[in-house]
């Protein structure tokens, strides 16, 4: 159902989220679970999730932390394996076949938060990638090179050129997702693959450009990785997300850090969007005159790419101006300065 002031769509899924662990997990999980039916859960805990048994235990902790209410009860966490230089292809396959792992995640070593145990050279993944291509297990990528001599704003485009393109050439059957894309080059590269490569797009990269990092002073809460790029890139992302093309889908990359860890001499990367995630996307789609494309981006393209069923339950958004969330559970929430126009009913 849809008119100018309400929109009912299939319940969405979040194809990239950081739920953390312990107290933080209990604090942030309800925000994701009340909006999304499923979520791809990132494995970059302080001690990374590298085996099927660790992923199974982490999944159990997530399910145990779910609030016992009607909206949250059915939430399904989809687990990922953190790839390292030593990932064993048999372990990956076992976890995937047993239904513990939905996908595996490539963090180039030291690219972002808790990635020190990541992959130092993509060649170390040859056996794992060959197996994944063979069994249809998706590879999710933090797509940035880590060479400190490469400008921080160029790290995604360099990754596409130096790592991703050669890798897809060597493993043409591999199902891969370039996560949280931030550049027009990523948009055109994903398009050029016509389905072999998917991409998630965050709400914050649709809303801010790199000026937001320096608005009147240093703004640590707008700092995330990959870092926001210039305006022309943001516009390309908005066009891609609202295009309805099946390879672009929702992934919030909601990444909570305590305020003290963000407002520090060396502040953490990560933007916390979970409290109003779907409302943030609705704002963008409405501004682009593309509310009719929100359902494909949020609720259809992701499951189709992963080969999963779409959700039968629905969620309704209503036009209702509010300020947006400010701070919750000791974490600053992302919200546009002009507030939000949509709310989940």
Active site members: 253
Q: Is 269 in the site for ligand NCD (CB under 6 A)?
A: yes
Other residues' Cβ atoms within 10 Å of the Cβ of residue 35: 25
Q: Which does 311 bind (CB under 5 to 8 A by kind): ligand NCD, Zn ion, none?
A: none
* CA dihedral sign of residues 187, 137, 33, 267: negative
Radius of gyration of the chain (CA): 19
Q: Spell out, one character per residue from 42 to 71, where the chain touches ligand NCD: x when CB under 6 A holds, - when not.
A: --x---------------------------
Judged by CB under 5 A, the number of residues near Zn ion is 1
Which of 102, 112, 273, 296 contacts ligand NCD by CB under 6 A? 112
Which of 14, 245, 253, 286 contacts Zn ion by CB under 5 A? 253
Task: Read off the tokens for 86.
Answer: 């030593």
| Measured distance between the N- and C-terminal CA atoms of the chain, rounded to whole angstroms | 14
DSSP helix, strand, coil percent of the chain (3-state; round to 5): 40, 20, 40
Which of 104, 160, 174, 225 contacts ligand NCD by CB under 6 A? 225
For 278-292, b/e burial (b = at least 16 CB within 10 A) is bbbbbbbbbebebbe
Which of 10, 18, 105, 238 contacts ligand NCD by CB under 6 A? 18
Judged by CB under 6 A, the number of residues near ligand NCD is 11
Q: Spell out, one character per residue from 130 to 149, where the chain touches ligand NCD: x when CB under 6 A holds, - when not.
A: ------------x-------
Query: What is d(CA 95, CA 103) in angstroms, rounded to the nearest whole number?
Result: 9
Q: Which does 62 bind (CB under 5 to 8 A by kind): ligand NCD, Zn ion, none?
A: none
Q: Measured from the CB of residue 154, what is the shortest distance to Zn ion in angstroms?
A: 20
Which of 29, 92, 224, 291 contacts ligand NCD by CB under 6 A? 224
- Closer to Zn ion by Cβ: residue 204 or 234: 204
Distances (CA, A) of 246 to 57, 177, 261, 263, 280: 33, 12, 37, 38, 20
Q: Spell out, one character per residue from 243 to 262, where the chain touches ligand NCD: x when CB under 6 A holds, - when not.
A: ----------x-x-------
**Which residues of the chain form contacts with Zn ion (CB under 5 A)?**
253
């Amino acid at each position: 159902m849809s008119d100018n002031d309400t929109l009912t769509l299939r319940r969405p899924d979040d194809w990239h989220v950081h739920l953390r662990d312990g107290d933080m997990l209990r604090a942030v999980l309800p925000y994701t679970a009340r909006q999304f039916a499923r979520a791809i859960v990132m494995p970059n805990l302080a001690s990374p999730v590298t085996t099927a048994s660790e992923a199974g235990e982490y999944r159990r902790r997530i399910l145990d932390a779910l609030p016992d209410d009607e909206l949250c009860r059915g939430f399904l966490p989809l687990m990922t394996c953190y790839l390292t230089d030593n990932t064993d292809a048999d372990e990956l396959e076992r976890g995937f076949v047993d239904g513990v792992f939905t996908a595996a995640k490539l963090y180039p070593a030291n690219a972002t938060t808790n990635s020190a145990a990541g992959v130092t050279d993509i060649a170390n993944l040859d056996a794992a990638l060959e197996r994944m291509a063979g069994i249809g297990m998706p590879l999710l990528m933090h797509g940035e090179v880590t060479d400190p001599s490469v400008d921080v704003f160029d790290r995604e485009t360099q990754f596409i050129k130096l790592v991703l393109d050669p890798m897809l050439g060597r493993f043409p059957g591999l199902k891969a997702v370039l996560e949280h894309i931030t550049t027009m080059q990523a948009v055109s590269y994903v398009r050029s693959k016509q389905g072999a490569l998917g991409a998630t797009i965050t709400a914050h990269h649709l809303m801010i450009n790199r000026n937001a990092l320096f608005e009147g002073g240093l703004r640590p809460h707008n700092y995330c990785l990959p870092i926001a790029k210039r305006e022309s890139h943001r516009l390309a992302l908005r066009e891609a997300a609202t295009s309805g093309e099946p390879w672009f889908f929702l992934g919030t990359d909601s990444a909570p850090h305590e305020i003290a860890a963000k407002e520090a001499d060396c502040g953490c990367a990560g933007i916390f969007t979970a409290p109003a995630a779907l409302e943030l996307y609705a704002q963008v789609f409405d501004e682009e005159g593309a509310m009719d494309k929100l359902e494909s981006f949020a609720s259809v393209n992701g499951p189709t790419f992963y080969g999963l069923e779409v959700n039968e339950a629905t969620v309704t958004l209503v036009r209702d101006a509010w300020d947006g969330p400010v701070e919750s559970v000791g974490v600053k929430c992302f919200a546009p300065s002009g507030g939000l126009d949509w709310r989940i009913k």
